[in-house]
Structure 1
Amino acid sequence: MASDAQNNPFIRNLASSDKKVRDQALDSLRTYLGAQSHISELDLLKLWKGLFYCLWMQDKPALQQRLSRDLASLVSTLRAPVVFPFLRAFFTTIAREWGHIEALRLDKYLYLIRQYVNASFSFLSRNKWKRDLLEQWNSVVEEIPLECQDMKIPNGLRYHVMDVWVDELEKFGGDEWESEDRSEILEELIVPVERMAKEGKLKPLREAAKECLADERLRAWRGQEDEVLDQSEEDDEEVEWGGFAD
């Protein structure tokens, strides 16, 4: 499964316990990526398969977190036309490989996903939350991590992205999200979550989206803290089953 990464010395060097070797490999990757104005989808998927297993091979917790932060920092080195294809390849890879992640390895990938949500918001923030960029970001999110209907997308990925959404967004403005000039940006950012709350194929997905939207911080930013939440929803037969009747 990890043969591509194991046979690639560059990828092995990224997972090295030797800081000098690891930093040199990361610098080389940053230099390469930063020089590209276009990278094909196939090449990005090949790269991300290698990076996925680079983290797979890293066993030391402290180095796992360092590597995840380093991988997320790659977004800041990319030229604008490469950013969203790179993010799409990342989420595609995580979705594809999710079923292979063992329980003991799950935490490091959850941390990597959190770092990538953060890196995405950081890119949008640096670019003044431009509407066209927000739309491109939403397109990636609605296509993969918060896609509403396709059960080939792992629900664990969906749940985790919604779980970290407000935490990471808070780091880029905090209470400033309450200001009127940010309201339109905020409403655009939460479109994928609101869509999941309405259109999620399974009731637990819709409920998870509603929990995200009900976060006290998000409600305060949206000026909803005094509103009464309507939690009612008809039971869904495809999700809930009360067992055989007596």
Structure 2
Amino acid sequence: MSSDNSIQQTPFVKQLAANDRPTRDKAVESLKTYLSSSRTFTQSDFLKLWKGLFYCMWLSDRARTQQRLADELASLVDVIKPNNVFTFLEAFWTTITREWTSIDALRMDKFMLLVRRYVAASLRYLYKTGWNEEVVRKNNEVLEVLPLHPTNGKLPDGLRYHLIDIYVDELTKIAKVESEEDGEEDAEEEYDITPEQAEALLKPFRKLQKETLTKPIKKNVTEMLEDDRLQLLLKAPSG
């Protein structure tokens, strides 16, 4: 990864990457307080922050610590004011797409987990807005310009494959209506989303399917869009 000694040596980064939970929890709470401010953050603000957060994930070296840190970093989306959310998410995806090919095999699993958690956090945010059309459109724009851009050869295919693999999983989890009948074999699943809203969330993948010049990407995204769970979602009545 690209390194910056001033970032790596800050107490904040070291505290977030700490293996002892009290130290890490204190750092997370301080960060949440900072990010929940009503001030308008700039793209530069968040890119600098994500340089440090990425390095925190890079440093974390125990499975449980890595899982908790991924959860904690994704939870930041929940405290950021609406006017800052997509600036923050854009900085996240900019950082991930820039650094993806520098992540070695031993570290890849934890960054794949972080991406999964951020897909879930983004969808959860959209769900809380009632799948608002304008908010969904903004999220789609970020995905289309960064990790799912169909023709930009400088962006990593590995990240595209990962998003294709996990998106239906996370979408169905967020949209599913929990009920007392969950777990029963004959229980029919219900989703708090209309077919039109679900289709809107798939626009970046439809665009990727249509415009990609990479046959394996086209094959994988086509299979994703034909997933039985997704077909159920696209025809399910709102819960």
- Structure 1, 129-138 or 205-214: larger mean CA deviation: 205-214
What does the per-residue CA deviation read over 1:214-233, in whole Å, with 9 as the maximum and x for residues that have no partner? Answer: 11100122249xxxxxxxxx
Amino acid at match of 1:97: E
Alpha-carbon shift at residue 104 of structure 1 (Å): 0.3
Kindly state the Cα deviation for residue 3 of structure 1 after the two structures are TM-superposed: 2.4
Q: CA deviation at 1:8?
A: 1.1
Question: RMSD across aligned C-alpha pairs, in angstroms?
Answer: 1.5
The 8 Å contact of residues 194 and 234 in structure 2, kept in 1 or not, is answered as no
CA contact (8 A) 2:67 2:113 kept: yes
1:25-40 to 2 correspondence within 5 Å?
25-40=27-42
Question: Aligned letter for 2:203?
Answer: V
Equivalent of residue 223 in structure 2, options 200, 203, 211:
211
The 3 A distance-change label for structure 1 pair 190 and 95 is same
2:165 paired residue among 141, 163, 166: 163
Answer yes or no: is 1:143 the counterpart of 2:145.
yes
Task: Return the offset for 1:4.
Answer: 3.8
- Give structure 1 stretches of 5+ with no counterpart: 225-246
Fraction of identical pairs, as percent? 42
| CA deviation map 1:18-68 (0-9, x unaligned) | 211111110000000001431111111110010000010010011001000
- Equivalent position of 1:176 in the other structure: 190
Q: Which amino acid aligns with 2:190?
A: E
Unaligned runs of 5+ in 2: 177-188
Large movers: runs of 4+ above 3 Å: none
Give yes or no for contact 2:168–2:230 (8 Å, CA) kept in 1: yes
When normalised by structure 1's length, the TM-score is 0.87
Distance in 2 of aligned mates of 1:18 and 1:41: 31
Matched residues, number: 222
What is the letter of the counterpart of residue 172 of structure 2? E
Q: Secondary structure at the match of 2:131?
A: coil
Other-structure match for 1:192: 204
Structure 2 residue aligned with 1:72, among 64, 71, 74? 74
Alignment of 1:14-163 (within 5 A): 14-163=16-165
Cα distance in structure 1, aligned partners of 2:216 and 2:19: 40
State the SS of the aligned residue for 1:172.
helix
How far residue 204 of structure 1 moved from its aligned partner, in angstroms, is 1.1
Cα offset for 1:2? Answer: 5.3
- Alpha-carbon contact 1:117-1:165 (below 8 Å) kept: yes
Q: Which has the larger radius of gyration?
A: 1
Q: Deviations over 1:111-146 (max 9, x none)?
A: 000000000000011111100000000000101111
**Which stretch of structure 1 is more off in the superposition, 215-224 or 91-100?**
215-224
Cα distance in 2, alignment partners of residues 73 and 35 from structure 1:
15
Q: 1:127 to 1:182 in 2, by over 3 A?
A: same
- With over 3 angstroms needed to count, the CA separation of the structure-2 counterparts of 1:2 and 1:63, relative to structure 1, is farther
